[in-house]
Structures are given as structure tokens and as C-alpha cells.
A and B are shown apart, each in its own frame.
Chain A
Amino acid sequence: MSGEGPPRDANYAPPAGSAVASPEAARVAVHFDRTLLLAVPATLFMLLLFIYPFLYGLALSFTPPKGDWLANYRTFFSSDHLWPTIWTTLRLALPATLINVGIALPIAYKMRVKSRYQRWITTILVVPITLGTVLIAEGMLTYFGPKGWLAQFLQWAHLYDGSIRLTHNYWGVLISLVISGFPFAFLLILSYITGIDPVLARAASTLGANPLAQFRHIYLPLLAPGLAMCFCLAFVQAFSVFPSAVLLGAPAGPTRVISIAAYEAAFEQYDYSLASAIAMIMGFVQLLIVAAVLGLRNFFYRGPVTGGKG
């Protein structure tokens, strides 16, 4: 270990409780305060542009133009075209996240060993991050469309003769979520895995652990915090799916996700109050999933996070 963390802080930041009355300590204490000031602009900025709008939206969602304070939430849960959007979104976001993390984990595990190809392969796998959801949607409409290369190839090779419907439905959105989400999950898991000291696995193998056992008993427990974090971040991306659900899905029906409902309320009906309520429900569902994942992590793994980077 390179010894980052508390010991270095102790080098010249005195413990807050030590009230030594020497001028030396006083000087250090004054300077200590000034360093803390460096975080003030960022904090103020976040309070002003993130926390304040959030609270404002929360308040707005409880003050509908007509009806009592819960009217928006009642509208949401009683309307047939609003509350099912939660399931529509989860039905897309959960499988997409599971696929992304599930495929990224073994590939990242394979790529952890430093080799000549490692950097090239990671670069190639990461490039789709730049494509952005809109470009992926446009590309998929051309490539996966009923007259696209994929359909032509499958028919030419007689692998599948029926008509291919991979756009303007559930599958189109799911595929686009995998394309845009996988590189991110891969990158994150790879950087967590490479942070685990390979000496641990080597020690296990001298004791006779096969690769599978090494993975299960050494890498997986150390990776659990990072994996949970990665799952959460990947889920956020998939959960807020918007452009691809509109462009690649069927936004009127099977892929009418919750963000479409929120957008329509805000910018088509100009009902900011209802839109804020939908946004809050969206954030709440998201936080529930994140809390569940983090809880699951604690269930699987209790112990010090040494060697990992969670």
C-alpha cells in the first residue's frame, strides 16, 4: 500500500481537539481554516444550483394549482397513463443494468492482467461512451432497422427469415441502453479491479485455490463495494433513459418511461407542479433501488474495505 489517507493528514493538520497555546499552533490553526475555505465556492454552488432547486421542486410538488397538497401525487397514482410508467422504466432499467454489470464484470476481470493488448482493448471498448444516446439511436435506426445491414445479413445467411423488429419497441431501447451503458460499467469495474492487489490472489494460488475460487473468495468480496457503486451509477443512467426511449422506442406505449411523463407534464402541459411531483417520485424510486443495492452489499460483505477502493 502506498499509505494514503489519515496518516498523511496528521502530518501537519493538528487534531481539532488539541488546544495548544503556542503561537506555532495558532498560526497553523488560522491556516487550517483558510484551506477549508477552498471548498466554499463548490459547496455554495451545489447548494444554490442543486439543493435549492430540489427543495423548490419538492415544495412546488405539494402546491398544485388546484386541489389539496397531495393532489399531484393522487393524480399520479390514480391516472392510468402515469403510474404504470414506473414499471415501464424499471422493466427497462433493471435488465439493462444487470446485463451491463454482468457482462462487464467477467470481461474486466479478464482484462485486469497488464498486457500489450490491455490498453488497446479497453480503449476500443470505451469508445462507445462518446457516441451519446442520440447518436446511438440514429445509428440503430439505420443499422438495426428492417432494411438495415443486420436484417439483410440475417436474411442473406438464412439465419432468420422473418421480419426483424429491433427498433421502435422495447428491444430497441434495451439494446441502446446496453450499448451506451456497457462501456461505462466496464471502465468503472476495471478501475476497481485493477486497484486490488494481485499479490492476494497469488498468495491464494500458492495455497491451491483455482481461478474460480480466487475470484469468489478474494476478488468478489473486495470488489463488492465497487460493484455496488457501479451498479448504482449504471442504474442511474438507465433509469433516466429519455432520448432513446423517444427515438427508438414506442413513446406512446411500451416504452413510455417516467422521464417522458415528467417532460410532457412540464413542457407540453406547462404543469410544473405535476412535473415536479413526477420528478420527485422518480428520484424516490431511484433512491429506493440504490438503498436496496447498498443494503444487499452490507448483507454480503461486512468487514474492512482494505485493498479495494470503495
Chain B
Amino acid sequence: MNGNRDQRSWLERVWTGLLWGLMTLFVVNIALMIASVTTNSFARRWLGTWLPEGWTTTWYTEAWREFQLGDVLWVTVEVVFAVVFLALLVGVPAAYTLARRDFLGKRLLMLLFLLPLMVPPITYGIPMATVLYQVHLAGTIWGVILANLIPAAPFVILVMTPFIEQIDANLESAARVFGASTGRMFVHVLVPLLAPGILAASLLVLVRTIALFELTFLTAGSDSQTLVVALYYAVFAAGVRAPQSVDAMAMVYMMVTLVWLLIALRFVNPTQLVSRVKEHPQGAI
């Protein structure tokens, strides 16, 4: 009996150690990967040694000039904020309906909103790009925005539905008893209560949209590239350019996403993405 317990705790310790080892390996390697990109972007010459021979910041100014980073960053900002705004505009009301009402075809509607997240972006991206080219939207910034909205709007719905379900419906009933219309109830009761959820959803959409490659790649023209697509072309045509200047661009890209992710993580607990955790036991369970 006693020996059995000893054996089990020993096994448990090995198992825990193994998991920590795995996590450390993963994190350390990624940190080193990022560090090597950082080092290279400041390196004067770096060939097969531990550290480069000298340090410089010229790659950043060069990348800025060569890749027209100013324009690319501006396009990225425009696309990302338009996508976040429009996704919230169509997504939040739809999430409200799905959270509060039961109606015929609700499951079908949920499938419609889940499907874009379940089908590879290239699969619907290619027919969609074809359609967008026919209506002369592809290659423009609007084409890019519309393409990015396809996964963004369902994502908002997916995140917001459980958020809305948590809000006590009695508050809305109370507002109605006092004669508020749906619109006023939305503005004065729901939006203030939903603010944390809306913030979380918009930050997550923002981070996802910055990183989303395939759809932007398929629909962007030369003057509507976002940062990630410009980075792809820079790496793809790497033979022509100094790797350091590509790495400098990668650093700019990483800084942009990292800042937003850290802001997002201040407001969103990552464990509460799918639904809230019960932190306070409620009554008798």
C-alpha cells in the first residue's frame, strides 16, 4: 500500500517534470528564434559565428525605404480598423439574436457562421477572389477588407454569443418594462454591459487580422498589401535583398502584433475565450 503510493508520486513527479521540460523546450526555442531575428536585424555582418561582427541600425532605415513600410503600415492600419469596426457592426447584433432567441433554422444559421472557420481559407479564398476580381473589387483596399471580414465576423459572433448569454436577461426585461425600444435598450443597457466582451472580441479580431495571410494575399493588389503580405514577398524574393533588411521588416511586424497582443491580454484572460470560468461557486452545486 505504502510502496504503491510512493511509486505513484514518483511517477507523478516524472510526468510533471516531463511536461515542464516540454514547455521549457518550446518557449526557449521560440525565444531564441525571435532573438536570432532581432540580432540579425541589427547585425553588420553575421556568418556562422555566435554573434555578428558589428552592430548597425541601417537595416531599419533601408527596409523602411525599400519596402515602403510607411505606406504598408498605413494600409494595414486602415484594413485592420475597418475590419474590426465592420465585424463588430454585423457580428454583435447577430450574436445577440443567437444568444437570446430560439427560432426555426437557428442551428442552420449557426452552421453558416461556423463554416468559414472550419473550411481552409484557401478553399473559399480562391473562388471568392475570382468573384471579387469580376466585380473589380480585388486589388483594392475594399476587396482586402471584405475578404478579411469573412472569418472576422463569425469570430466575433462566436466570442460574443457566450458573453451575451451571461448577461441577466432580466435587465433587458426591466428596460422594456420602462418602455425602452430595442435600439435604446441596446445603447443604454446592453452596450455598457457588453463593453468588456466587445473590447475582447475586437482586440482578438485585430490580432488575427494582422496575422491573417492567405485571404489578403489572394485579394491584395500592389498598393493594398498589408504588412504580413509585404513580409511574405520580401522573404519570397529574398535572393535580391539583404536578409538583415528582411529581418528588420519582420521585427517591425512582430512589434506591431506584440503590442496589440499584450494590450489584448491585459483585458482578456486567455482561459476565458470560449466561456467564462466559474470563479465563485454559486449556491448549492
Contact with A along B1-37 (1 / 0, CB 8 A): 0000000100010001001001100110110111011
Cβ < 8 Å to A, chain B residues 90-106: 90-91, 93-94, 96-98, 100-104
Overall SS of chain A's interface: helix
Instruction: Tell me, in angstroms, the Cα distance from A239 to B214 when the chains sit together.
Output: 13
Q: Which of B59-67, B73-81, B191-199, B249-257 contacts A (4 or more CB under 8 A)?
A: B249-257
Query: Which B residues are CB-close (under 8 A) to A5?
Result: 165
Instruction: Tell me, in angstroms, the Cα distance from A290 to B23 when the chains sit together.
Output: 28
Query: Which B residues are CB-close (under 8 A) to A4?
Result: 165-166
Contact with B along A21-36 (1 / 0, CB 8 A): 0000000000110111
Query: Which A residues are CB-close (under 8 A) to B12?
Result: 211
Overall SS of chain B's interface: helix
Interface size class of A (residues with CB under 8 A): 35 or more
Query: Which A residues are CB-close (under 8 A) to B120?
Result: 236, 239-240, 259, 282-283, 286
Q: Are A9 and B102 in contact (CB under 8 A)?
A: yes
Contact with A along B168-208 (1 / 0, CB 8 A): 01100100100000100000000000000000000000010
Cβ < 8 Å to A, chain B residues 233-285: 235-236, 243, 246-247, 250, 253-254, 257-258, 260-261, 265, 269-275, 277-279, 281-282, 285
Query: Which A residues are CB-close (under 8 A) to B173?
Result: 11-12
Q: Are B153 and A45 in contact (CB under 8 A)?
A: yes
Query: Which A residues are CB-close (under 8 A) to B222?
Result: none
Q: Which of A68-76, A128-136, A157-165 contacts B (4 or more CB under 8 A)?
A: A128-136
* A52 touches B (CB below 8 Å): yes
Residue of B nearest to A260 (CB): B122
Q: Given A12-B173, A46-B154, A127 and B258 touching (CB < 8 A)?
A: yes
Query: Which A residues are CB-close (under 8 A) to B217?
Result: 242-243
Q: Quick one: which of B96, B176, B274 contacts A195, CB cutoff 8 A?
A: B274
> How many residues of chain B are within 8 Å of chain A by beta carbon?
101
The 7 closest A-B pairs by CB, nearest first: A57-B127, A240-B120, A38-B93, A42-B94, A132-B211, A130-B257, A191-B274
Contacts from B to A (Cβ < 8 Å): 8, 12, 16, 19, 22-23, 26-27, 29-30, 32-34, 36-37, 40, 47-48, 50, 89-91, 93-94, 96-98, 100-104, 109, 112-113, 115-131, 146, 149-150, 153-154, 157, 165-166, 169-170, 173, 176, 182, 207, 210-211, 213-214, 217-218, 228, 231-232, 235-236, 243, 246-247, 250, 253-254, 257-258, 260-261, 265, 269-275, 277-279, 281-282, 285
